[in-house]
A and B are shown apart, each in its own frame.
Chain A
């Protein structure tokens, strides 16, 4: 599998606080990687650096062979990196369709007809066609999460960065999202997924990256990564001897 995204030596500091410290990360085409770790481990910060929401303090991000470390989120989105928020942020005064359509026409750079088709396809995949004309601010949590997915999808991404998209949902609702996300993988989209709900995450990803205090402490096949002593300690604390 060709490598699509490579991040080397990523460090992000906010004043004196180091949120991400010298992290190496890579993603192959059509791969699904989960990121887990305690709160404050730097997962979301890493995702933001990959998406271009802010520049890294040090390190480089390479996407599709080109260095994108200095390009902003809008440019990276047009190149093929899409991201969803932990707390959904729909454009509330616009309809569901408009939310997705603006992503299809700006993010995917599609002309009117293609953007229209792309929007319909994204909405269909995420099961939102029936409510396409509702105002986004009237949606409930599950539909808002679906909309985050549909909107990210409409930008025509090669890789999709998901931030706790299962958070706050019931198991049945999370299962619906898993079905959608698996469908996206089937279409050749690589996925990076931060999630606290492990049994949901493990239905999709084949590699797990465990972070703590801004560093990667273990990674690999999910069962092995989770059994790593450093991961056990980060989650459960060290044993009393």
Chain B
């Protein structure tokens, strides 16, 4: 039974990692904590839902249509709001994205009302494989996990192997110097924002497939994403996957200990990791592991 809980926790963690992917990427590259992250995920869900209903197509197909739309929205978000905010210090993007979240949530409420929605994916929502008589793996959960790993791995490869990825990394370190080696740093940032928001659209779609959502779902999703990013180490994409899994496993084990334990356990892990970070220098999770290994000796 414990094995099952841990397995389900890992799969749930895949969803959290998928959710946190865009947040992690944006923070790692642009040093922006995007507080509108959850709201943009919900907005993407509404966009996908609208497309799927209007053209009577599968949500997966609708997501393919929605991706370029959301990427363009990310580009616009960068050149209209984030770029200006970044110029006036690190706190301003926090305030402007918070403001954006409020505006988005209420605009969606105005447009779509308070009803809960969900993306219809037929049997996939419930179908599962029975590994043993006691352990079943949900097909959607596994798909989510696979997509999360592929997306985080793909982004990592993109950053380390492609010219645009390298340009984005260079800009992220020093925009002025990047200009001096021929990189248009504004465009590099805008491209990064477009990619980040496109990943948020994928996360939003999976959110809407696995559960119901309404215009105010965003902020709670933001918290899970944020916790996954912090547990895994800010700015590290693989760390985000590990952070998401740690959060998912903690929540599932917590729910076994007490019916109310689900959220508490997740927050507790987040808090412990955060506190440990304050005591152990360095943002790198490897520093923490090294410190823990050294401790008994």
Q: Which residues of A contact B (CB under 8 A)?
A: 51-53, 72-75, 77-78, 82-83, 85, 89, 91-94, 98-99, 101-103, 105-109, 112, 151-152, 154-155
The CA-CA distance from A73 to B167 in the complex, in Å, is 15
- Please give, as numbers and ranges, the residues of chain B lying within 8 Å of A109 by CB-CB distance: 182
Report yes or no: A155 in contact with B173, Cβ–Cβ below 8 A.
Answer: no
Kindly supply a per-residue 1/0 record for chain B positions 26-69, scoring 1 wherever the CB is within 8 Å of any chain A CB and 0 otherwise: 00000000000000000000000000000000000000000000
Report yes or no: A106 in contact with B181, Cβ–Cβ below 8 A.
Answer: yes
- Please give, as numbers and ranges, the residues of chain B lying within 8 Å of A77 by CB-CB distance: 179-182
Closest A residue, CB atoms, query B179: A73
In angstroms, how far is the closest chain A Cβ from the Cβ of B234?
Answer: 14
Say yes or no: A105-B163 contact (C-beta < 8 A), given A74-B185, A89-B174, A94-B169: yes
Kindly supply a per-residue 1/0 record for chain B positions 164-187, scoring 1 wherever the CB is within 8 Å of any chain A CB and 0 otherwise: 001101100110111111111100
- Please give, as numbers and ranges, the residues of chain A lying within 8 Å of B182 by CB-CB distance: 74, 77-78, 103, 106-109, 155
Mostly, the A contact residues are helix
The CA-CA distance from A155 to B181 in the complex, in Å, is 6
- Please give, as numbers and ranges, the residues of chain A lying within 8 Å of B183 by CB-CB distance: 74, 102, 106-107
- Please give, as numbers and ranges, the residues of chain B lying within 8 Å of A78 by CB-CB distance: 182
Number of cross-chain contacts by CB at 8 Å? 74
- Please give, as numbers and ranges, the residues of chain A lying within 8 Å of B163 by CB-CB distance: 102, 105-106, 112
From B169, B179, B184, B185, contact of A91 by CB (8 A): B169
A-B contact pairs, 15 of them (CB 8 A): A53-B176, A72-B184, A74-B179, A75-B184, A94-B170, A102-B163, A102-B170, A102-B183, A106-B170, A106-B182, A106-B183, A108-B182, A109-B182, A112-B163, A154-B181
- Please give, as numbers and ranges, the residues of chain A lying within 8 Å of B173 by CB-CB distance: 91-94
Q: Which residues of B contact A (CB under 8 A)?
A: 163, 166-167, 169-170, 173-174, 176-185
| Given A53-B176, A77-B182, A106-B163, 5 further pairs, Cβ under 8 A | A74-B180, A94-B173, A102-B169, A102-B183, A155-B181
Closest B residue, CB atoms, query A92: B173
In angstroms, how far is the closest chain A Cβ from the Cβ of B210?
Answer: 35
The CA-CA distance from A83 to B178 in the complex, in Å, is 11
Report yes or no: B181 in contact with A103, Cβ–Cβ below 8 A.
Answer: yes
Report yes or no: A106 in contact with B177, Cβ–Cβ below 8 A.
Answer: no
Closest A residue, CB atoms, query B187: A74
Report yes or no: B181 in contact with A72, Cβ–Cβ below 8 A.
Answer: no
Closest B residue, CB atoms, query A101: B166
The CA-CA distance from A199 to B185 in the complex, in Å, is 38
Report yes or no: B167 in contact with A102, Cβ–Cβ below 8 A.
Answer: yes
Closest B residue, CB atoms, query A156: B182
- Please give, as numbers and ranges, the residues of chain B lying within 8 Å of A98 by CB-CB distance: 166
- Please give, as numbers and ranges, the residues of chain A lying within 8 Å of B174 by CB-CB distance: 89, 91
